[in-house]
Amino acid sequence: MRWAWTVEQTRNGGPGSRPTGTRVHEDGCPQAPADGPELHLDQALAALARAGARACQQCPAAEVLTRL
């Protein structure tokens, strides 16, 4: 099995507003942006370690990445 991840830049003010955080998703999550970059595990963990970052609760990202 191959795990891949992607990130979403979250915004509080809608399109065009400044990013306020990062959400990490399992690649293929319906909540993930379609054009998000594909990350390997180390990149996903680094993204999750950023200030304001969190894992998606709708896919395995939260369960898998927060255990590592």
Over the stretch 4-25, which tens digit does the pLDDT of each residue have? 899 988 877 666 767 678 899 9
Higher pLDDT, 2 or 5: 5
Q: What is the pTM of this model?
A: 0.80
Which amino acid type is present at position 12?
N
pLDDT at 46: 94
CB neighbour list of residue 43: distance below 8 Å, 6 or more residues apart = 5
Q: Give 42's pLDDT tier (boundaries 50, 70, 90).
A: very high
> What CA–CA distances, in Å, run from 46 to 10, 12, 22, 26, 36?
17, 22, 11, 14, 16
